[in-house]
Amino acid sequence: MSDFLETTVCIVGAGPVGASLAAALHARGVPVLVLDRQPLPPMELPAFDGRAYAIALSSQRLLAAAGVWALLPHAPGPIREIRVADGKPGQPASPLKLHFDAAEVSTDPFGYMVEARSLRVGLNRALDKVRVLAPVEITRTERDAAGAVLTLADGRTIHAQLVVAAEGRNSPLRRAAGITATRLDYHQTAMVGAFAHERPHHGVALEQFLPNGPFAQLPLADGADFGTPAFPHASAFVWADRHPIARRMLALDDAGFSRELARRLGDQLGAVSIIGRRWSYPLSALHVARWTDTRLALVGDAAHGVHPIAGQGLNLGFRDVAVLADLLAEAVAHGADAGSPDLLARYQAQRRPDTLAMLLGMHALERLFSNDIAPVRWARRLGLAAVDRIPPLKRAFARQAMGLGVLPPA
């Protein structure tokens, strides 16, 4: 075992964003090495655990170009339509709705629902071609104009032109670099999981704005192993609610929780039954003072966090990957320094405005819809209905949902 390893890019963190960046760089001939404190998750999980990702069309194209999409073991579920409505639990949604149809914008769907276990298998298979050290502990990081040196607990050292922090919201590399992060607490808990249902979803996703937070139903692929004869179809849910309400909901048994899901869904999917386990986490937004430091770039949750009201959190991370991979591939192709101040400045200039706009937009939506003030409620319902009747505006929103308003079509 060599005590000295050299690479162009060292990615710290093998989660979905870090692993997809590694796969994208490898596919474009950029030498890359991945470090993680934890072992890579197992390739084959015993059962569906309730987690799934909404992958926008632009993110799907990124994963396809990186070679990950073809390695998914389970077919993803396409999102062909999105219905947006305002309502209250236990009551029919307002008839003043906003309806998006992907066919009005593209021959492709808005995106896909991918099981977390399926994406992990695809990423692990892609990482088979990449140098990965996991689990390892980094004891020291030195970064200067000459390069970056990372020292591991086992004595090995890694020399790189650029270090990428992909270790999540509490990024140790970000903190060590003195990059401050501002957080906004939404005083909400996100509950995430999946449920089986009687009637087909036809690839339709629902975004329901409720007084205490949004509720989303997202169509999973039919034909997977989580259906039953009585409930042959399945969807994922993302449900944000005030902490006290969320605690009560999470304490319910499966039958009680399923009843609460049905109160928010309406009857369009028939009877429902929770499947897998329920996950939960407190909601907050995160904005960093800067995205880079000497030979350091932040990606994914290390760089930003937004309210999941439109399911854009992971897709923002994939947009980071797309931009950074392009810049690094260009630098390596021309024999340039992959960690130069100019490259890092260009990365921040391209990613910061998009992410800040998304953060502010999601915050504004959350403030507008997470209340039950009658005049505001009627104004937002009329606003949804008005947008539904303005085709150019609808198309602009639809392209944004696909990610096509930010990244050019492939």
pLDDT tens-digit map of 284-329 = 889 999 999 999 999 999 999 887 766 678 999 999 999 999 999 9
Spatial distance between the Cα atoms of 67 and 70, rounded to a whole number of angstroms: 6
Residue 130 C-alpha from the chain's centroid? 23
CATH fourth-level superfamily of 4-48+117-180+285-368: FAD/NAD(P)-binding domain (3.50.50.60)
Question: Is 7 a residue whose pLDDT tops 70?
Answer: yes
Spatial separation of the C-alpha atoms in residues 191 and 345, rounded to whole Å: 37
Strands (E), 3-51: 4-12, 32-35
Gyration radius of the chain over CA positions: 22
User: Which residue, among 290, 312, 284, 286, has the nearest Cα to 301 in the 3D structure?
Assistant: 286
pLDDT at residue 46, rounded to an integer = 59
pTM of the entire predicted model: 0.89
Q: In angstroms, what CA-CA distances link 197 with 169, 261, 319, 382?
A: 34, 11, 33, 31
Round to whole Å and give the CA distance between 121 and 40.
10
- Residue 126 or 402, more confident: 126
Instruction: Report pLDDT for 385.
Output: 47
Asked whether residue 392 carries a pLDDT value surpassing 70, the answer given is no
What are 270-294's pLDDT values in tens digits?
A: 999 999 889 999 988 899 999 999 9
25-34, 266-275, 373-382, 393-402: least confident range? 373-382
- List, for residues 355-390, the tens digit of each pLDDT value: 887 776 665 555 555 555 454 554 555 555 455 555
Across residues 1-20, what is the average pLDDT? Answer: 91
Contact 282, 189 (CB under 8 A): yes
pLDDT digits (tens, 9 = 90+) for 336-360: 999 999 999 999 999 998 888 777 6
Domain ranges for the chain, please list them. 4-48+117-180+285-368
Burial letters 115-146, b for 16+ CB under 10 A, else e: bbbbbbbbbbbbbeebbbbeebebeebebeee
What token pair was written down for 137?
């502990």
User: Contact 236/193 with Cβ under 8 angstroms?
Assistant: yes
Contacts of 88 (CB under 8 A, 6+ apart): 210, 211, 372
